[in-house]
Structure 1
Amino acid sequence: MSPDLASHGSTRSAAELNAAIRALWSHPAVPLSAEQRAEYRRLLAELQQAERGGVTTAA
């Protein structure tokens, strides 16, 4: 996914994003590459946007 898409709002559900995050690890003991860590950070940011989608601030 491109960074531009993430900055314009999430198009994936929280469940889809969680699945993508979990798919990054082939095994819990295997560390992520630099590219995978960057993708993980993008996915986390998108997940936060998806989770906040229905949240409004109180006056």
Structure 2
Amino acid sequence: MIPYCMVIGMSTKSNSCPWTLWAVHAYATLSTDLASSILKVNTLSTYLGTLAS
């Protein structure tokens, strides 16, 4: 995923980036990682439950 700040930096020809954009980007990345981790754990526990029964 390309950080928004890089895109903005390239389009505005400057290196300045509002910290809010970094925060949003970091939050979105963490949320996605967390969601996929939870999904993997759920899938794994469902699979193990199927084996146990």
Structure having the larger proportion of residues in helix? 2
The answer to whether the superposition gives a TM-score over 0.5 is: no
Higher relative contact order (Cα pairs below 8 Å, separated by 6+ residues): 1
With normalisation by structure 1, the TM-score equals 0.39
